[in-house]
Amino acid sequence: MDFDKLIEKFCEMLKTSKFVVALTGAGVSVPSGIPDFRSPNGLYAKYGQDIFEIDEFYKNPDRFYNFAKEGLIPMLSAQPNVVHHMLAKLEKAGMLKGVITQNIDGLHQKAGSKNVAEIHGSVRIWNCLKCTKRYEILDDGQREFLLSTNFRCSCGGLVKPNITFFGEMLPMGEFAKAQKWAESSDLFITLGTSLVVYPAAQLPIYALRNRAKLVIVNKGETPLDRYATFKFDIDLTEFSNKILETLNTFLN
């Protein structure tokens, strides 16, 4: 089947399904200038696989902070792209229940999505590990302060972003919400994720067990491709533009 036909069929599924859920990964933010993790020019190639290991953080926090200056702080000023906007429009039109995201950049909310489950936390919140002071949605002043003190709080404690490191628990409330959405869905769409990190990659499996249809949009293979009704191995920008064009009359 050619691409246009597949898109049409997928849009029909969107219109006729009752509970549609999206799971997004780092690929969704690549068009906003944020690198993903596992591509050849992704964050792990540059900074090492263990940059998000909690033991590494405690052993050598300044290694993490050097990465954070380049890899996390710029996320705060990034802008959503057409993929985020397409998902926000689907939600507004009642065609999408919510977005479960592994991303920590807050770009779905910036694009206008209301129902977002952030299962790996958020880079907009940082906590002092000593006095528990909370730095929320870092404004320019707080950002400058943390950069100039090398991420030390005014009490001298280390300030850690509220994101899930490997070796830490996921935020339980967010994951429980995500699991409930997955189990209630009749159409589950994954976008820009390699689906190799658990328990996030378990969510499409919960959906499949509930007889939901699975659609995967990702450049490159994923371990769940064989369970997908449709797999779009294309650029997410192209995919999203096509969806917006095809559903034009439903989305405004």
Footprint of ligand OAD (CB under 6 A): 25-27, 30-31, 36-39, 42, 52, 102, 120, 164, 192-194, 197, 218-220, 235-236
Among candidates 189, 191, 198, 142, which has minimal Cα distance to 170? 198
- Least Å from the CB of residue 184 to ligand OAD: 23
Please, are residues 161 and 125 in contact by the beta-carbon 8 Å criterion?
yes
Q: Which CB sits closer to ligand OAD, 19 or 122? A: 122
How far, in whole angstroms, is CA 68 from its chain's centroid?
Answer: 18
Q: Which CB sits closer to ligand OAD, 36 or 174? A: 36
- Least Å from the CB of residue 194 to ligand OAD: 3
Residue keyed to tokens 């696989």: 49
Triad 115, 103, 101: Cα angle to 5°: 35
- Least Å from the CB of residue 198 to ligand OAD: 10
Residues 6 or more apart whose Cβ sits within 8 Å of residue 67: 43, 47, 51
Please, are residues 33 and 237 in contact by the beta-carbon 8 Å criterion?
no
CB atoms within 10 A of CB 165: 18
Among 84, 85, 108, 120, which one carries the catalytic annotation?
120
- Alpha-carbon span 97 to 159, nearest angstrom: 34
Q: Which CB sits closer to ligand OAD, 17 or 32? A: 32
Please, are residues 56 and 50 in contact by the beta-carbon 8 Å criterion?
yes
Residue least distant from ligand OAD (Cβ): 27
Identity of residue 233: D
- CA pseudo-torsion sign 226, 40, 51, 123: negative
Q: Which CB sits closer to ligand OAD, 67 or 145? A: 67
Q: Which CB sits closer to ligand OAD, 156 or 199? A: 199
Known catalytic membership, residue 120? yes
- Least Å from the CB of residue 104 to ligand OAD: 7
- Least Å from the CB of residue 140 to ligand OAD: 25
Helix (H) or strand (E) holding 24: strand 20-24
Active site residues: 120
